[in-house]
Amino acid sequence: MASEQKQGRGIIETIKTIVWALVIAGVFRTLFFQPFWIPSGSMKDTLLIGDFLFVNKMSYGYSYASCPSVRIPAVGLNIDAKDICGWLDGDNTRILGGEPERGDVVVFRHPVNGTDYIKRLIGMPGDTVQVTDGVVQINGKPVPQQPDGTFTEIAGRQGPQGLSPSCANGVVGAGGICEKEKFIETLPNGVKHSILNIGKRSLDNTGIYTVPAGHYFFMGDNRDNSTDSRVPQTAGGVGFVPYENLIGRADRIMFSSGGRSMFAFWTWRGDRFFKGVE
């Protein structure tokens, strides 16, 4: 009998330990850093498919979007951030709020479907933004682009989703060299970052967007392969992103794998471990 009671207490203590570990992990994830895997190529070559990073949630303060969404379709689990922190939603403000800076690489919650996106902040509240012949115009002035050679990668399926890259050098068979033009873009505040160009695309020329107060305009660095603020929400794009939808700033890549699984150690990109996000 004593042995059974001891075993029962041991099970209870194990459950309590697991519960407390989950609580601590949830608090850490909500208040400080959120893990984020790069699922697509929209931020190449700044971020590659398979990069793993922690998002700094302290950068911009906290809103309902700071609470994690837990989605595991295989078991039917779908807990949205609004289910937990919806009481913070609706006023487009933040607790301990800090202003993002132009050029920050930001993870934010899509204003309509709630999916987490990662893009670069291009347009601030009150700015006008337009793209003309692939060149961004901010408040009527072109953002300088300096040619920076060619970005190359192996053509083939990438990451868990098996996405194939688009190439400037035409249709490239599996195992071939996929090329894109590379430029260094210098934003009005002096932030320099890499962008890629595949060729002439519909979003190389846009109308003029006027960023509303309390909202931001985001673009992917892989300009011809990014769903971002250039496409309105009514057409399936991102549109303008409210201040309260910001989750945090991406500062550093912690780990990177170029394969379909993080356990395929032969695909690890050691040169990207602990690399700063610029």
How many Å apart are CA 74 and CA 247, to the nearest integer? 25
Q: Is 200 a catalytic residue?
A: no
DSSP string, 105-133: EEEEE-TTT--EEEEEEEE-TT-EEEEET
Say which residues have a Cβ less than 8 Å from residue 108's Cβ, sequence separation at least 6.
Answer: 65, 116, 117, 118, 119, 218, 241, 245, 246, 247
Could you read off the pLDDT of 28-70 as tens digits, one per residue? Answer: 444 466 888 899 999 999 999 999 999 999 999 999 998 888 7
Question: The whole model's pTM is what?
Answer: 0.86
User: Omega before 45 cis (within 30°)?
Assistant: yes
CATH fold label, 32-276? Umud Fragment, subunit A (2.10.109)
Q: Is 42 a catalytic residue?
A: yes
Res 1: pLDDT:
53
Within 10 angstroms of residue 267's Cβ, the number of other Cβ atoms is 14
Within 10 angstroms of residue 176's Cβ, the number of other Cβ atoms is 14
Q: Where are the alpha helices (DSSP H) in the chain?
A: 2-31, 81-85
At 19, the pLDDT band (50, 70, 90 cuts) reads very low
Could you read off the pLDDT of 184-197 as tens digits, one per residue? Answer: 999 999 999 999 99
Q: Average pLDDT, stretch 92-110?
A: 94
Could you read off the pLDDT of 126-138 as tens digits, one per residue? Answer: 999 999 999 999 9
Q: Which of 42, 63, 226, 257 is catalytic?
A: 42
The answer to whether residue 3 scores a pLDDT higher than 90 is no
Q: Which of 44, 119, 180, 182 is catalytic?
A: 119
